């Protein structure tokens, strides 16, 4: 029987994953502590507590060097630590506005020193602003939020096609990873329901991928043509990998080791 083998959340939009043993899924279908913060460009017209497209914020798609940063987020105390190559870069109390501004300034300085960044040629995007209350999950790629899932067999198929022995699933930024499925089997679940632990999900759509998948999640370099491989090798009209799901109205907890079945 298929089971959950890895769980991830992404506290800061576009930044690295936190590996979890348990995820708490809200009734809204979003995950506690997932995409609750973001660094938004100054020229965005979105209000601080509103969803916006990722192109209005720092993200791997426009700032691959973000992959070198590691997040440590305490969603109870609302404290965020960012590490650069293993060393603490900055720590902030998200309840303190001065701390939030300092955090944004440190990130701005780091990004401006990168060879590839979305700020140097666009002064209207400065200063960066840290948005989000650290509590409400809201900065997903899709305004509906949704929980994402892929299988290790599908990952292995892409790794084999691209010829990469060390091909990290973190490139795809899924929340749930499952094993004991055939490659691409999860793509057949669109329009169906799936039970994971005690939670019933509606499988809404396949996930169309972007250039963030080209970024090595350790080095921050664009090193593999993932989109081209998905489209040409697997004959996809749009480069897709993983599926997106919503709860049927009731949340709960998902644990590593939970089993999965179609309803």
Please tell me whether residues 7 and 61 are part of one structural domain: no
Q: Are the C-beta atoms of residues 134 and 48 closer than 8 Å to each other? A: no
Residue 234 lies in a domain: yes
Q: End of a domain among 109, 131, 153?
A: 131
| Per-residue pLDDT at 141 | 93
Q: End of a domain among 78, 103, 131?
A: 131
> How far lies 81's CA from each of 7, 41, 64, 77, in Å?
20, 21, 19, 12
Give the strand pairing for 3-9 and 69-74: unpaired
Range of the domain at 80: 38-131
Over pLDDT 70: what percentage of the chain? 100
pLDDT digits (tens, 9 = 90+) for 22-64: 999 999 999 999 999 999 999 999 999 999 999 999 999 999 9
pTM of this structure: 0.96
Please tell me whether residues 149 and 24 are part of one structural domain: yes
Please tell me whether residues 181 and 255 are part of one structural domain: yes
> Per-residue pLDDT for 229 more than 90?
yes
Mean pLDDT score across all residues of the chain: 96
| Per-residue pLDDT at 248 | 84
Kindly report the CATH number assigned to the domain that includes residue 220: 2.40.33.20
| Per-residue pLDDT at 165 | 87
């Amino acid at each position: 029987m298929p089971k959950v083998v890895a769980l991830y959340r992404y506290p800061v939009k576009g930044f690295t994953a936190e590996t979890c043993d348990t995820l708490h899924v809200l009734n809204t279908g979003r995950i506690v502590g997932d995409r609750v913060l973001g660094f938004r460009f100054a020229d965005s017209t979105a209000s601080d507590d509103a969803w916006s497209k990722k192109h209005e914020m720092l993200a791997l798609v426009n700032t691959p060097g973000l992959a070198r940063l590691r997040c440590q987020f305490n969603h109870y105390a609302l404290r965020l630590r960012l590490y650069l190559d293993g060393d603490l870069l900055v720590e902030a109390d998200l309840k303190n506005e001065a701390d939030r501004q300092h955090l944004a300034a440190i990130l701005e300085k780091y990004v401006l020193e990168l060879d590839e960044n979305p700020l140097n040629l666009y002064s209207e995007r400065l200063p960066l602003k840290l948005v989000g209350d650290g509590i409400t999950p809201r900065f997903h790629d899709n305004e509906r939020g949704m929980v994402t899932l892929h299988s290790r067999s599908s990952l292995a198929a892409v790794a084999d096609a691209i010829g990469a022995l060390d091909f990290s699933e973190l490139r795809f930024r899924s929340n749930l990873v499952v094993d004991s499925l055939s490659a691409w089997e999860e793509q057949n679940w669109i329009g169906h329901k799936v039970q994971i632990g005690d939670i019933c999900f509606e499988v809404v759509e396949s996930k169309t991928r972007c250039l963030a998948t080209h970024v090595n999640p350790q080095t921050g370099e664009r090193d593999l043509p993932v989109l081209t491989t998905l489209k040409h090798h697997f004959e996809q009209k749009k480069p897709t990998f993983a599926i997106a799901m919503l709860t049927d109205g009731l949340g709960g907890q998902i644990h590593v080791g939970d089993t999965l079945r179609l309803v």
